[in-house]
């Protein structure tokens, strides 16, 4: 039979399957692109075909017809089974609660990581043989938290220090020595500059302590899978950049300009020898945790992408049992970090082996394992996932048109009632791919277009060098012109009352955003007027002419009311800001 895992080339080479393709996708076999997609899975082909992805019933008929074709061989692997903890892992001769426990002796700062260490058994395979968890309470709030095995007989339970005061815990485990251990830790005041996890705040974002957060994001998908020297250069570049969010992948990436083999993986093993999917590489995860902590020290949120399709190791198709085991382990290790976001997928619709049911199941696992309710999203290549799903906290969007994407921001806000982050709108760079050769001016223009419509547009950079070290994936250095301009934009937005912009009634040719009646910005984009006649709301206003590319703000003399002519320099990328003058 042929199914989602079969390759396009195998289907083309089979007369029966080819006939099905021609019936449901007329002309696809004769397409000049057919040769380029021979190794693609049929599940991916459906994702990039509007005729099938937008008609669920037609898609079901397509799969049923392929399943009826004789002679084909499915490429889908036989998935590893689920493994239940061993109820006899420790016998009755082992006293309950006998494992040594180490708790923090000093007060943990609020929003810091509370780590409980247990020195327990190491025989067998504790990654799957032992289940460990705890109930944690401060008297007002209680939650369950899962633990994990960290190798060499060490088990850890981590949770986020959400509030000051004493927090008590009591463990429950299938291993007798780890079961019934209790204790307490003390949480003190927050360290300077820490504000807790970011939450959705209406159509914008705020930290848990109520302070405003505006994402100024960038992407370096595989930066933690590079040599140490490259990772250090990435951190140095981030320290000098305006970004406070970084999209990054749990798994390594196999794609254009991404052919190098990482040193370690989430599972022990290698591409040549295979991977042990019943264990985890604790050194890999310790290194990831260090990088996430280093991002936190720079004030950067780690938007961690859990799955993606650009894979040569088999990680995109692990099967439900391994996916679940991995998700529980990842969330238990990382959910105590205040600066983590969960991105279920980059371009979920290209992950041919996963269905909507799979994504819903994965989301449910993350929700169950994360008592701190970190932000959750799922990113599209073509069709949006149903962003109204309650587990999705904000929209993480990719460009939907070669030119026009940010212009949809206010519509998407209205449709889903959630913050809109356009994480992938195209990258500033010079490679041959259309998504990776925007000018800095165009990327900044798109960011302003999104901002005045109440959203947040992310950055990426794809300048090619002889090392094939492109920031968008490997990190390294930032050389583009857009980062400083995006920082300037964030500063302009931050000066608004409340620190955010919302879309305002606009002219047919100019979008307006801001705070109604108080703080108004008109953005002219690629237009270049020499003047503009404005009609201000009732009251007195100061007017500024903003050059968004040269990063200048020029105040017009005086205080203005009613109809005003604003002189402009007939250059692109200009904006006008009106700020109400308060008599008090």
Helices (H) and strands (E) in the chain, counts: 14, 32
> What would the two tokens of residue 345 be?
């997928």
- Kindly write down the DSSP assignment for every residue of 438-487, as one continuous string: B-HHHHHHHHHHHHHTT-EE---EE---TT---HHHH------SHHHHHH
pLDDT of residue 528: 97
Residues 6+ away with beta carbon under 8 Å from 498: 212, 515
Q: What is the pLDDT along the chain (584 residues), one digit of tens a residue?
A: 788 888 888 888 888 888 888 788 776 666 655 666 677 788 877 776 777 777 888 888 888 988 888 654 544 568 999 999 999 999 999 999 999 999 999 999 999 999 999 999 999 999 999 999 999 999 999 999 999 999 999 999 999 999 999 999 999 999 999 999 999 999 999 999 999 999 999 999 999 999 999 999 999 999 999 999 999 999 999 999 999 999 999 999 998 899 999 999 999 999 999 999 999 999 999 999 999 999 999 999 999 999 998 999 999 999 999 999 999 999 999 999 999 999 999 999 888 889 999 999 999 999 999 999 999 999 999 889 999 999 999 999 999 999 999 999 999 999 999 999 999 999 999 999 999 999 999 999 999 999 999 999 999 999 999 999 999 999 999 999 999 999 999 999 999 999 999 999 999 999 999 999 999 999 999 999 999 999 999 999 999 999 999 999 999 999 999 999 999 999 999 999 999 998 76
Work out the angle at residue 338's Cα, subtended by the Cα atoms of residues 373 and 147, and round it to the nearest 5 degrees: 70
pLDDT of residue 27: 65
Q: pTM of the predicted model, to two decimals?
A: 0.92
pLDDT of residue 345: 98
* 3-state secondary structure at position 544: strand
Residue pair 324/366 in contact (Cβ under 8 Å)? The answer is: no
- Kindly write down the DSSP assignment for every residue of 325-376, as one continuous string: HHHHHHHHHHTT-TTEEEEEESSGGG-TT--HHHHHHHHHHHHHH-TT---E
| Residue 249: closest CA among 290, 196, 304 | 304
pLDDT of residue 583: 77
Instruction: Compute the distance between CA of residue 292 and CA of residue 307 in angstroms, rounded to an integer.
Output: 18
Instruction: Compute the distance between CA of residue 28 and CA of residue 38 in angstroms, rounded to an integer.
Output: 12
Local structure of residue 81 (DSSP, 8 states): P
Strands 552-555 and 563-567: unpaired
Residue pair 310/253 in contact (Cβ under 8 Å)? The answer is: yes
- Give the total residue count for the chain: 584
pLDDT of residue 394: 98
Residue pair 188/109 in contact (Cβ under 8 Å)? The answer is: yes
> What would the two tokens of residue 258 be?
């991404």
Write down the residue that tokens 């040719």 correspond to. 509
pLDDT of residue 25: 76
Question: Which H or E run includes 173?
Answer: strand 165-173
pLDDT of residue 582: 84
pLDDT of residue 397: 98
* Other CB atoms within 10 A of residue 359 CB: 20
Instruction: Compute the distance between CA of residue 26 and CA of residue 8 in angstroms, rounded to an integer.
Output: 15
Chain Cα centroid distance, residue 153: 33
158-192 burial: b if 16+ Cβ within 10 Å, else e: bbbbbebeebebebebbbbbbbebeeebbbeebee
Write down the residue that tokens 């504790």 correspond to. 126
Chain Cα centroid distance, residue 49: 25
pLDDT of residue 31: 63
pLDDT of residue 29: 64
């Amino acid at each position: 039979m042929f199914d989602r895992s079969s390759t396009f080339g195998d289907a083309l080479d089979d007369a029966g399957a080819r006939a099905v393709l021609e019936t449901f996708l007329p002309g696809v076999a004769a397409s000049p692109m057919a040769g380029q997609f021979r190794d693609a899975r049929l599940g991916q082909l459906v994702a990039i075909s509007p005729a099938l992805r937008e008609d669920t019933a037609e898609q079901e008929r397509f799969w049923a017809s392929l399943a009826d074709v004789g002679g084909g061989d499915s490429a889908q692997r036989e998935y590893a089974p689920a493994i239940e903890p061993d109820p006899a892992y420790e016998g009755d001769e082992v006293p309950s609660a006998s494992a040594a426990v180490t708790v923090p002796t000093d007060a943990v700062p609020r929003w810091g990581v509370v780590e409980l260490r247990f020195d327990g058994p190491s025989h067998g395979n504790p990654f799957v043989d032992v289940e460990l968890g705890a109930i944690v309470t401060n008297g007002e709030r209680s939650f369950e938290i899962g633990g994990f095995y960290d190798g060499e007989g060490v088990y850890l339970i981590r949770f986020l220090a959400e509030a000051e005061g004493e927090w008590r815990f009591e463990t429950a485990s299938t291993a007798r020595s780890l079961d019934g251990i209790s204790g307490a830790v003390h949480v003190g005041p927050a360290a300077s500059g820490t504000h807790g996890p970011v939450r959705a705040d209406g159509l914008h974002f705020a930290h848990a302590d109520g302070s405003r957060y505006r994402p100024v994001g960038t992407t370096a998908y595989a930066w933690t899978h590079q040599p140490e020297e490259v990772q250090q250069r990435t951190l140095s570049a981030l320290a000098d950049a305006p970004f406070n969010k970084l999209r990054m992948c749990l798994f390594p990436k196999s794609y254009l300009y991404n052919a190098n083999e990482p040193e370690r993986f989430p599972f022990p093993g290698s591409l040549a020898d295979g991977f042990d999917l019943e264990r985890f590489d604790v050194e890999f995860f310790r290194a990831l945790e260090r990088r996430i902590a280093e991002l936190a020290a720079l004030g950067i949120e780690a938007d961690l992408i859990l799955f993606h399709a650009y894979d040569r190791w088999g990680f995109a198709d692990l099967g439900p049992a391994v996916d679940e085991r991995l998700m529980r382990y990842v969330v238990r290790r990382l959910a105590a970090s205040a600066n983590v976001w969960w991105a279920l997928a980059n371009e979920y619709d290209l992950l041919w082996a996963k269905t909507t049911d799979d994504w819903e199941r994965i989301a449910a696992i993350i929700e169950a394992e994360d008592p701190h309710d970190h932000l959750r999203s799922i990113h599209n290549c073509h069709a949006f996932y149903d962003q109204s799903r309650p587990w999705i906290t904000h929209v993480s969007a990719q460009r939907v048109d070669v030119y026009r994407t940010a212009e949809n921001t206010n519509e998407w806000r209205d449709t889903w009632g959630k913050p809109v982050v356009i994480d992938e709108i195209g990258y500033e760079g010079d490679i041959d791919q259309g998504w990776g050769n925007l000018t800095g001016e165009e990327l900044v223009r798109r960011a302003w277009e999104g901002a005045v419509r109440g959203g947040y547009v992310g950055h990426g950079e794809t300048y090619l060098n002889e090392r094939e070290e492109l920031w968008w994936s490997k990190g390294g250095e930032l050389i583009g012109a857009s980062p400083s301009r995006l920082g300037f934009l964030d500063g302009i937005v931050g000066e608004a009352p409340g620190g955010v912009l919302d879309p305002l009634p606009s002219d047919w040719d100019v979008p307006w955003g801001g705070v109604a009646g108080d703080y108004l910005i008109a953005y002219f984009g690629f237009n270049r007027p020499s003047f503009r006649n404005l009609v201000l709301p009732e009251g007195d206003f100061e007017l500024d002419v903003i050059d968004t590319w040269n990063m200048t703000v020029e105040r017009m003399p005086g205080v203005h009311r009613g109809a005003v002519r604003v002189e402009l320099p007939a250059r692109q990328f200009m904006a006008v800001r009106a700020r109400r003058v308060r008599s008090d």
